[in-house]
Chain A
Amino acid sequence: MLQYLSTLDRRVVFLLMGLAVAIPILFPLPLSYKPSVLAQQAFDAIETLPPGSNVVFSFDYDPAASGELQPMANALMYHCGQRKHNLYFMALWAPGAAICSDTIDGILLKRCEGYEYGQNYVELGYQAGLAGVIKIAVTDLRQQFKTDKYGTPLDQIPMMKGIQNLQPMDLLVSVSAGDPGSKEWVQLFVTPFPATKMVTGTTGVQSVSLYTYIPNQIDGMLGAIKGAAEYETIVNAKYPGPDGKPLPELQEGQRRMGPQLTAHLLMVTLIAVGNVVYFMQRKASRRSGHARGAAR
């Protein structure tokens, strides 16, 4: 057994991981979450803004990170929609613009009332230039975005009147998977113009580097799928669906915590088993070393 475990084919590990992720998806686990301080702060940052505040919502991720970030993007957009904020959507990643449109169709227009294009939400779309887009948009938005995503000049969009740059925005919501993303928003927008609050949703890997900016620059952060599940819990409690139950679209993060639990437990088990094997092998080699010494 020891020999088998010490030379375990990694495909067995892959199979175990596949089962650990697949089974909870097929048979959901009923789990509950206590919202963390950061998730609550993110909620409060949006909740305490007066209705009709200006919110710039940046989609800075691609389909690869959708698994982790889409649930939090849904929840954040739903929350902003329930608070009737004016939403200015943009994307620093090319695929982000399409993801943004899909999210608007699936959440904002479907689940929030009173939203009309050009009146209280607008899609500026994607612009090439990476972090340079932020730098220019912060001082002169129209130099970077001459039209919205659909080719309409910004001057013809009612809610863009009087908006020369991003500085009048009351809140920035950045859902980001890497570079450019939340870090660049902090460095190029929120730090030089601290009047704008910031809430961010990021992958677990990126969240470590953003703790540095809490709480001075970032008012609330949702890290990884756990952050998304916590945020959904808070939002569903405050803004349930029409039948008083949570919306199905706002349970995805919680649904994905089931596979996360089993996968993490599997990893802990694998690490423990690996260490047991290691120590037993070390003990066996010491014993055989002593036996050889005694034989001499």
Chain B
Amino acid sequence: MKRTVPVIIASAVGFVLVIAFFIPRTQAWGETAVLWFNILAAVAFVLGAGNLIKVQLESISARRPGWGFALVTLVAFFTMFIAGMLKIGVFPAGQYPEHAWSGKFDSAGAPFGWMYNYIFSPITATMFASLAFYVASAAFRAFRAKNVEAILLLGTAFVVLIGNTAMARLTDPLPEYLAFLRLDVLVANLMSYVATGVTRAITIGVAVGVAATSLRILLGIDRPYLGRL
């Protein structure tokens, strides 16, 4: 029973979603199934938040190495949570000026919006910006001309790296019969034909793989949600 019921639920809902795409009368059932998932995910968020608080509190109480980070995590979590949930400092919406909570929680000027714009956004942008350093480090370490394929890769990398900068104009003076060697033309051709072709091939393989994996789950051959091998 413990193993059969989840498999039946997963299979039934999965097949309903597939059928709903083709049979109009069942479309509403598919939309309902998606709504159920959204509700479950929202409820599970409470579980996740509870787990986060529990783990960080344990880290603080046991004074494990790095417990200060756990304290920072909890302070940040509760500050944003309370500021957003209670809509502290939010201006009422124009239509309902007498209701203090009628405005949006992330409206400009409110503490939540301020923290989002001046703390969270710059931190996120900084993390993303650190990619530039990691790319350089990866390029220095990993790009070696060990074999023919690697040499082709390196050649392409040089063309694309230089072709995507102002230095691409250095090849503009090439005569018309050698126009295909201009860097901007080379980059466009590489992206439009070579890269696109490869991407399409991988995408087709992935699509077939997704279909096979989904079918295995619908038929109960794979049961990752059940935790039994």
Contacts and interface: CB of A to CB of B under 8 A. Distances in A.
Direct A–B contact in complex, judged by CB atoms less than 8 Å apart:
yes
Contact of A98 (B106, B122, B195): B106
Contacts of A152: 94-95
**Main DSSP-derived SS at the A contact region:** helix
**Main DSSP-derived SS at the B contact region:** helix
A17 B221 CA distance: 50
A267 B165 contact: no
A275 B144 contact: yes
A95 B121 contact: yes
A271 B128 contact: no
A204 to B, nearest CB: 8
A226 B95 contact: no
A153 to B, nearest CB: 9
Interface residues of B, number: 51
Given A261-B167, A275-B154, A14 B161 contact: no
Contact of A17 (B116, B128, B133): B133
A32 B166 contact: yes
Contact of A264 (B102, B165, B200): B165
Contacts of A278: 144-146
A151 interface: yes
Contacts of B128: 64-65, 67
Contacts of A261: 165-167
B132 interface: yes
Interface in A229-256: none
A20 to B, nearest CB: 8
Interface in A191-225: 204, 207-209, 211-212, 214, 224
A275 B124 CA distance: 34
A114 interface: no
Contacts of B116: 95, 98
Nearest to A263: B132
A104 interface: no
Contact of B121 (A38, A63, A270): A63
Contacts of B113: 98
A199 B157 CA distance: 27
A64 B195 CA distance: 26
Contacts of A95: 116, 121
Contacts of A263: 132, 136
A64 B102 contact: no
A151 B135 contact: no
B64 interface: no
A18 interface: yes
A241 B94 CA distance: 35
Contacts of A103: none
Given A150-B94, A270-B139, 8 more contacts: A17-B136, A18-B133, A150-B93, A212-B199, A212-B200, A263-B136, A268-B158, A273-B140
